Structure 1
Amino acid sequence: MITRQAEAIVRQKLLQTPAVVLLGPRQVGKTTLARQIASDWAGGAVYLDLERPADRLRLEDADSYLRAQQGKLVIMDEIHRAPGVFEVLRGIIDDNRQAGQRSGQFLLLGSAALDLMRQSSETLAGRVAYLDIASLNIFEATQAGIPDNDLWLRGGFPDSLLAPGDIQSLDWRRDFIRSYLERDVPMFAPRLPAETIGRLWTMLAHSQGSVLNQSRIASAMGVSNPTIDRYIDLLVDLQLVRRLRPWGGNIGKRLVKSPKVYVRDSGILHGLLELETLNDLLGHPVSGLSFEGHCIESLIQAAGSRRVPYFYRTQVGAEIDLLLEKGGRPEIAIEVKRSMAPSPEKGFALACDDLEIGQRYVVYPGTERISLRHGAQAIGLHELATLLLQ
């Protein structure tokens, strides 16, 4: 079993707060992590899978059942199946606090970030901590002995990454995509057509890492701009797509104002494009932008909540693939090159000069750190991610 870095963070939060909401896509490892925590939790734990009718039945009188578990950690998986439970948690948490159980009362697992955060924040303000869990990152994969190219090709969903072969991995990702469109989209957004969202998802894969042109997509799909916005909102909410915002400070330059859009997991991206092997990927036009998205997602995870991610682009072509801001000031500029002989573009140097950024990195597939022109350094993905953890 692969050890998830999120496990230690979840345990720490549970020792500090009454409730923790753990958010992430299906099949990303939330249940495995929760069961691991439950297996040795002091005082015992109760696990409820709310996709099972028997477990949902226990919550028909949620107040009575949950109060009877006082002293235990109650884990509720797929919490969106029982949205009414949030109404009773506040009183139970407060009463448990009075009885001496001030932390570690509830661990709630869900797949739709925005809706769950809205419901829980309305009733559990000051009583809940939120954590995201993404697919396996480069540190977890390296610790498990998984080659970097396997992580890039197959993505970080455990069942895809650990499949016995590329064919089986791609088959799993096809099934994952189909299940989201046939099951999750109708559940989370019953008024949105799943088939149309599937087409949009594929279109976004073909334009991975491009500045979003909503009008063009809307025209191609025969719907309005606001409709496309709602569809993308859903994919972002399900943590399947990242909408990377443009940096918008006032520096006297004409800046691009539309976001870039990435399919977050590289394996799902390749599944949408039917790319089975590394050779298939390397020979496809999306290869460079796929590597860019893979690196950006890894670095954003490593940067955590301490730094805010953006991209930067002016109307005249000065550009930074990933700009990390800390304390309201641009701190680190990153360009991604899928070349063993990387060289920063002139536009990257101009953008760094515009923002007066000293830390300039070019991520490439190698491992040696190399000094480049314009004050930049070529650096491997793993080394830069390690630096961002510090």
Structure 2
Amino acid sequence: MSNAFIDRKLRSELIRLSQHYAVLVLTGPRQSGKTTLCKNLFSDYHYVNLEDISLREQIAASPKGFLKQYAKGVILDEVQRYPELFSYIQVVADEVRGSHFVLTGSSNFTLMEKVTQSLAGRAATLTLLPLSLAELGDHIKADTNTLLLNGGYPAVWAKNIPVLDASRNYYNTYIERDVRGLLNIKDLTKFQTFIRLCAGRTATELTASALSNEVGVSVPTINEWLSVLEASYILFRLPPFYRNVGKRLIKTPKLYFCDTGLVCFLLGIENEQQLAAHPLRGPIFENLVVLEFLKSRFNQGKLSNLFYYRDQSQREVDIVQEHADKLYAYEIKSAKAFHREFLKNLVYLKKLLGSNLVSTQVIYDGETDIDSPEYGMMNFRNAVHVS
């Protein structure tokens, strides 16, 4: 796969929507492959990288004239760097019949704010996360620890860049530069402590007050940092499932990262052997599986329909997925051998939710699959087909 273009599952949805909308907006983390995908898919479009300050200054001389010149097909990369351009895109999209703009950005907060204000009804928005297991091709057969350690950033798989180098560069270049800039952080040490503490809380309930005490900043500051990391596609929060089922349920979200390779880097895990013995290997494995479900939704152009269940008796089910009025529940285990104990909370949830819960599955690292609507089990590599 070295130096090769890795085709993305989102391609078909981008093609479909391009036939109906004048403006396509593709968001996602930096280095997740947005530019490569758009250039490959719209190879005849003019390409503009708005990270280039001098180019932004040139466009500023006549923004409308520039957009009209390339209105029939232009890719505007990192468009949130030039927020004033959105109003001109709206005008030109309305004036020029057959115009087509492809906008990419890695700051969801800034980008979507402008899209909502200026391009409502004219734009279709999609999200591209790092590579899913289904997009790895034969590499999906790699050892589980290798998959966890490498994560999904295309550079690691397509260019054979060592994952430690890729993660270090990503952290130094994008997280500390971009996120620190957005937050105007003066004490970098506290932010570094904060993000590493977040990595240590992967796949656990997130309590801002606990982080506040450990980092030494206020709860509002912790919440602001979390919001910006989420908007920058560094991490995401999985909401709890709390339909009125007559029980006292936990209503705190769980924390996950958008790439397990970054989690390993933040935890100081440098190789597969260290990961295999690490006390957080189970949560990192859970992060991978939950992330695969989220990628599957986004790659179909759909919003997340994922939750987790936990009550105050500490009964927990890792994924509860809603499809209209039907529910699907998944328990995630990093073990290679199946144990009936894995079914305990699924059996409880089935009794609680009754016929609304139509399928319960254990997703684990073992070899045996049992294809059964009730209490089946599957290897995590096969879970890419069920979400």
Indicate whether the TM-score tops 0.5. yes
1:33-48 → structure 2 map (5 Å cutoff): 33-39=37-43, 44-48=44-48
Shift of 1:143: 5.0
**2:9 is equivalent to residue 5 of structure 1:** yes
Of 284, 293, 307 in structure 1, the residue corresponding to residue 278 of structure 2 is: 284
Shift of 1:318: 2.0
Match of residue 334 from structure 2: 338
CA distance in 1, matches of 2:56, 2:172: 26
Partners of 2:71 and 2:93 within 8 A in 1: no
Unaligned ranges ≥5, structure 1:
none
Of 137, 152, 156 in structure 2, the residue corresponding to residue 156 of structure 1 is: 152
Instruction: State the TM-score, normalized to the length of structure 2.
Output: 0.91
Match of residue 383 from structure 1: 382
Match of residue 33 from structure 2: 29
Match of residue 91 from structure 1: 91
CA distance in 2, matches of 1:145, 1:251: 39
Match of residue 118 from structure 1: 113
Match of residue 109 from structure 1: 104
CA distance in 1, matches of 2:163, 2:212: 32
CA distance in 2, matches of 1:226, 1:338: 35
CA distance in 1, matches of 2:212, 2:303: 35
Identity between Structure 1 and Structure 2 (%): 28
Partners of 1:307 and 1:326 within 8 A in 2: no
Root-mean-square deviation (Å):
2.1
Match of residue 147 from structure 1: 142
CA distance in 1, matches of 2:46, 2:159: 31
CA distance in 1, matches of 2:94, 2:143: 47
Q: 1:138 to 1:81 in 2, by over 3 A?
A: same
Shift of 1:164: 4.1
Q: Which has the higher contact order (CA 8 A, sep 6+)?
A: 2
CA distance in 2, matches of 1:193, 1:230: 15
| SS state at 1:59 partner | helix
**2:57 is equivalent to residue 57 of structure 1:** yes
Q: 1:332 to 1:234 in 2, by over 3 A?
A: same
- Aligned AA for 1:384? A
Shift of 1:368: 2.7
CA distance in 1, matches of 2:213, 2:386: 43
Shift of 1:300: 2.2
1:216-231 → structure 2 map (5 Å cutoff): 216-231=210-225
> Larger deviation: 133-142 or 180-189?
180-189
| SS state at 2:255 partner | strand
Instruction: State the TM-score, normalized to the length of structure 1.
Output: 0.90
CA offsets 1:319-340 (integer angstroms, 9 cap, x no match)? 110110122x351100011112
CA distance in 1, matches of 2:278, 2:308: 24
- Aligned AA for 1:257? K
Shift of 1:137: 0.3
1:198-209 → structure 2 map (5 Å cutoff): 198-209=192-203
Partners of 1:161 and 1:169 within 8 A in 2: no
Q: 1:213 to 1:307 in 2, by over 3 A?
A: closer
Of 312, 317, 333 in structure 1, the residue corresponding to residue 314 of structure 2 is: 317
- Aligned AA for 1:140? E
Match of residue 171 from structure 2: 177
> Larger deviation: 2-11 or 235-244?
2-11
| SS state at 2:308 partner | strand
CA distance in 1, matches of 2:140, 2:327: 32
CA distance in 2, matches of 1:300, 1:387: 12
Partners of 1:308 and 1:326 within 8 A in 2: yes
Shift of 1:107: 0.4
| SS state at 1:83 partner | coil
CA distance in 1, matches of 2:152, 2:93: 35
Match of residue 308 from structure 1: 305
CA offsets 1:36-84 (integer angstroms, 9 cap, x no match)? 1232xxxx4110001123421332121111112232x111101111010
**2:351 is equivalent to residue 353 of structure 1:** yes
CA distance in 2, matches of 1:250, 1:322: 18
Partners of 1:185 and 1:192 within 8 A in 2: no
CA distance in 2, matches of 1:53, 1:303: 35
Shift of 1:20: 0.7
Shift of 1:115: 2.0
- Aligned AA for 2:116? S
Q: 1:189 to 1:80 in 2, by over 3 A?
A: farther
